[in-house]
Amino acid sequence: MLGTEALEVEDLLCLLGVEARARPDWDGALASLMRLAPQELSARLGARAPEAWRMAAAFELGRRATVERSLPRPVVRGPSDVLALLGDLVRGEEREQFHVLLLDGKHRLKARQTVSIGSLSTSIVHPREVFRPAVQAAAAAVLCAHNHPSGDPEPSPEDVAVTQRLDQAGKLLGIPLLDHVVLGDGAWVSMRQRLGL
C-alpha cells in the first residue's frame, strides 16, 4: 500500500483541508509557501483560517524534522558516554528511572526512551518494554541505563538478573544489549564488565 509520498500536491492539500478553490496568488511551488504566516497562507491560497493554520503546522513539523535529522547524533561507545548523556537527567531523582538508548549500526544515538520509573530502590522492567521501541525504531543495538537514587552505583541482585534477561532477549531478537549501566552521583558501573558478558 502506498503512502502519502504517492499523492500529488493537490491531494496533500486536500488532506489538510485546503479545498481545490481558486488560488489566485500561488505559482504551485511549495517552497514559496513554507515560511508564510497562516494569514498569508490564507490570502495566497484562498484558504479559511483553520486550513491555513493546519498548513502552517505541517510546514513547521517538516522543517523541524529536517533540522532534527541534520543534527549530529552522539556515538555511544561506553559507560562514560552514557553518563554524559543521562547523568544530568537522573541526578537528584528520588526514584529509579530505567532508560534505553536506541543505537544505529555505528552506535550513534537514534533515540532515548524512558522505559520505567520505579520506587526509591527498585525499577521493575521487562524485556518487552526495552525491546519494543528498539524493534519499532529498527535499532541495531541497545544500551540500557538506570540510576540509583542513593548515589551509589553498586548493582543489586535484581540489577544482575535484569541484565542477564535483557542480554538473552537481545540475542534472541538480534538486537544486542551493548551494556547496562548503573548510574550514581558522577559514577557508574558497567554490568557488561561486572558480569563479563
In the chain, what are the helix, strand and coil shares in percent, each to the nearest 5? Answer: 45, 20, 40
Quote the pLDDT of residue 185.
87
Same domain membership, residue 58 and residue 117: no
Grid cell locating 64: 523541524
Q: Which positions ≥6 away from 71 have C-beta within 8 Å?
A: none
Considering only residues 16 and 132, tell me which one the structure prediction assigns the higher pLDDT.
132
Same domain membership, residue 183 and residue 95: yes
Minimal CA–CA distance to 76: which of 99, 50, 54, 93? Answer: 99
- For the stretch 125-176, pLDDT in tens is 889 999 999 999 999 999 999 999 988 999 999 999 999 999 999 999 999 9
Q: Which positions ≥6 away from 172 have C-beta within 8 Å?
A: none
Same domain membership, residue 191 and residue 133: yes
- Would the pLDDT of 24 be above 80? no
**Contact yes or no for 144/177 (Cβ under 8 A):** yes
CA–CA separation, 137 and 118 (whole Å): 24
Instruction: Give the CA count within 13 Å in the CB-facing half-sphere of 108.
Output: 8
pLDDT mean over 100-109:
93
Among the listed ranges 11-20, 71-80, 187-196, which one has the minimum average pLDDT value? 11-20
Minimal CA–CA distance to 141: which of 170, 163, 116, 164? Answer: 170
Quote the pLDDT of residue 27.
66
Same domain membership, residue 95 and residue 180: yes
Same domain membership, residue 167 and residue 101: yes
Number of domains in the chain: 2
Same domain membership, residue 119 and residue 41: no
- For the stretch 38-97, pLDDT in tens is 888 888 777 788 888 888 888 888 877 776 666 567 889 889 899 888 888 888 888 899
Quote the pLDDT of residue 69.
66
Residue 143 has a CB neighbour count (10 Å cut-off) of 27
Going by pLDDT thresholds of 50, 70 and 90, the confidence category of residue 23 is: low
Quote the pLDDT of residue 6.
76
